[in-house]
Amino acid sequence: PLPAEEIKKKLHWRYLRTTKGADLLCRFITEKCANSCCAAMEEVLRTSDYPAWMQRNLHSRDMMLRILIVRLAGLMRIRTFETQIIPLMQAHQDNLNLQYAGFLALSMMGNRESILRLCSDPGFTKALSYRSLKEIFAVYTGDKRFLYEKLLDSSDGYIRRIVIKNIGEEGLTEFADRLTPLLQNDDRNLLCDVIRTLGQLRYAPAGEQIAQSLQSGDWVLRNAAVVALASIDADGYRPCLMAGLQDKEWWVRYNSARELCAHVPLQALEALLPTLQDRFATDILRFTIQETRLMGKGVAQV
């Protein structure tokens, strides 16, 4: 990367102190954040008088400029802005773009207390989409495990569900034991999320409880259970997967067949086709075997 003095000379400071310049800077840092030149430029910006310009314009009449400054404060981890972001969000709760930018900035700064405070107030979270909240948690730079530990106690079921999904996607196995009691929950959406997450974590102690969901009258639960059991122990739960081929719902039959094709040699599955007593089971397994071969996937014959 260029030396700091060279970067200072090359930056168009007047342009960067405009709304369009701040927008360009946000997009550049977001897209080039892994680049060593970008890191050097951020350091130059942080140590120049640019933060002072940001501070002066944080309460500009130009709302777009305010939002961009909040985004820049988060992207460059300028922590002197932390205490001003929440009051700004409180003053403009009807501005969804500002709410999102503020949430994101505090998360990038790793400000756990502020994130917990915002998540405890439906006024801040109710307008944000599932994807937005997932992104907010994804960029958190603090101790994410501690954050999730606290958010699992949230009174907001929406927040809890997102955290549960993130735990599975991020492979945080230390939460598996805490999530298992939620398999007794009556909330269908929450139960589906817990089943999927425990499957992603391959948490064997929850296998038998998850298998009970195969008897549910709700096909979404049966579908989630089939996939989770295959992830936990495809061989041990093969009878459940075989039974799933006969489910009355197409998606459950298809995912049962797909999981079998992912864990059992295709030739062995083909040998089973004549033994199946259910036409729908035979059709879906044959179709999925063909599909798996066309995609170049499947388990090789041992």
Q: What are phi and psi of 120, to 5 degrees?
A: -85, -5
pLDDT band at 40 (very low <50, low <70, confident <90, very high): low
- For 4-31, the DSSP string reads HHHHHHHS-HHHHTSHHHHHHHHHHHHH
When mean pLDDT is compared over 29-33, 76-80, 106-110, 296-300, the highest value belongs to: 106-110
3-state secondary structure of 299: strand
- For residues 237 and 206, what is the distance between their CA atoms, to the nearest angstrom? 13
The answer, yes or no, to whether residue 288 has pLDDT greater than 70, is yes
The answer, yes or no, to whether residue 178 has pLDDT greater than 90, is yes
The pLDDT of residue 246 is 95
pLDDT band at 146 (very low <50, low <70, confident <90, very high): very high
- For residues 50 and 293, what is the distance between their CA atoms, to the nearest angstrom? 58
> What's the average model confidence in pLDDT over 212-227?
96
Whole-prediction pTM value?
Answer: 0.80
The pLDDT of residue 8 is 61
Q: What is the pLDDT of residues 208-219, one digit of tens each?
A: 999 999 999 999
Give the length of the chain.
302
DSSP 172: -
pLDDT band at 120 (very low <50, low <70, confident <90, very high): confident
> What's the average model confidence in pLDDT over 133-151?
90
Lowest model confidence (mean pLDDT) among 33-42, 81-90, 109-118, 197-206: 33-42
The pLDDT of residue 102 is 93
The pLDDT of residue 18 is 87
The pLDDT of residue 130 is 86
The answer, yes or no, to whether residue 123 has pLDDT greater than 90, is no
Identify the helix (H) or strand (E) that includes residue 86. helix 82-91
- For residues 166 and 163, what is the distance between their CA atoms, to the nearest angstrom? 5
The answer, yes or no, to whether residue 7 has pLDDT greater than 80, is no
Cβ–Cβ under 8 Å, residues 124 and 89: yes
Residue type, 124: F
Cβ–Cβ under 8 Å, residues 260 and 239: no
The answer, yes or no, to whether residue 228 has pLDDT greater than 70, is yes
The pLDDT of residue 299 is 75
